[in-house]
Amino acid sequence: MYVIITYDVGEKRVHKVCKKLREYLTWTQNSVFEGSIGKGKLTRCMHELDGIIHADEDSIYLYQVNNPNHIQKKVYGQEKSFDDLFL
Amino acid sequence: MYVIITYDVGEKRVHKVCKKLREYLTWTQNSVFEGSIGKGKLTRCMHELDGIIHADEDSIYLYQVNNPNHIQKKVYGQEKSFDDLFL
């Protein structure tokens, strides 16, 4: 399946959440990751994120499409890569 | 169709982009909007955004699913509303 994950978490947890998501998905943009992932891996990823976030303050949105052909992506302006962050 | 739009734009244009997206979609989270929208309205929205952003610095990602039943959304932690921003 194909997923998009966006997060809005407390400053102290941004790095941990980002690092965890990089293990499973591709960084798209500030607070957004996406990619193809199997059901088992996704469950593990979300379980691990659940252990990092503070449920009363943070939020993570998971958008899930079973067939990657059902979602189209268009980029307006710059398509950024993770490496650009460190230039 | 159902769309998710995420943006990463220069500070000076954040307010304009946010205001424009609110005309067409629902605010989800920091830099993320989503909602059902017709093809004509979406074209207009993207055209208007194109006029706001600086293509060499900013980026807007549009994810588009024709059948809203093909996308599932799950929220972990807090589900925020736009009004929370002003509390």
A46 three-class SS: helix
Q: CATH assignment of A2-67?
A: 3.30.70.240
Look at residue B84 and tell me whether its pLDDT is greater than 90: no
Look at residue B30 and tell me whether its pLDDT is greater than 80: yes
Which tens digits make up the pLDDT trace of A16-69?
999 999 999 999 988 999 999 999 999 999 999 999 999 999 999 999 999 999
Most B-contacting residue of A1, A5, A8 (CB-CB within 10 A), to test interface: A8
pLDDT of residue A79: 84
Q: Which residue of A has its CA nearest to B33?
A: A6
Give every CB contact of residue A84 below 8 A, 6+ residues apart in sequence.
Answer: none
If you write DSSP's letter for every residue of B17-62 in order, what string do you get?
Answer: HHHHHHHHSEEEETTEEEEE--HHHHHHHHHHHHHHS-TTT-EEEE
Choose among B33, B39, B44: nearest CA to B7: B33
ipTM for the predicted complex: 0.87
- Binding residue ranges of A for Mg(2+): 8
Residue A70 is classified by DSSP as G
Q: Average pLDDT in the B30-36 region?
A: 93
Question: Which carries the bigger pLDDT value, residue B5 or residue B30?
Answer: B5
What is the residue extent of each domain of chain A? Answer: 2-67
Residue B85 is classified by DSSP as G
Give every CB contact of residue B62 below 8 A, 6+ residues apart in sequence.
Answer: A73, A74, A75, A76, B3, B4, B5, B46
Per CATH, which fold does B13-67 belong to? Alpha-Beta Plaits (3.30.70)
B77 close contact with A: CB closer than 8 A? yes
Question: Which carries the bigger pLDDT value, residue A85 or residue B18?
Answer: B18
Which tens digits make up the pLDDT trace of B37-70?
999 999 999 999 999 999 999 999 999 999 999 9
Q: Average pLDDT in the B12-36 region?
A: 95
Does the beta-carbon distance from A70 to B72 stay under 8 Å?
no
Poorest-pLDDT segment among A50-59, A74-83, B18-27, B36-45? A74-83
pLDDT of residue A78: 87
Cα dist from A34 to A7, A18, A21, A61, B43, whole Å: 12, 12, 9, 12, 24
Residues A9, A53 contacting (CB under 8 angstroms): yes
pLDDT of residue A84: 57
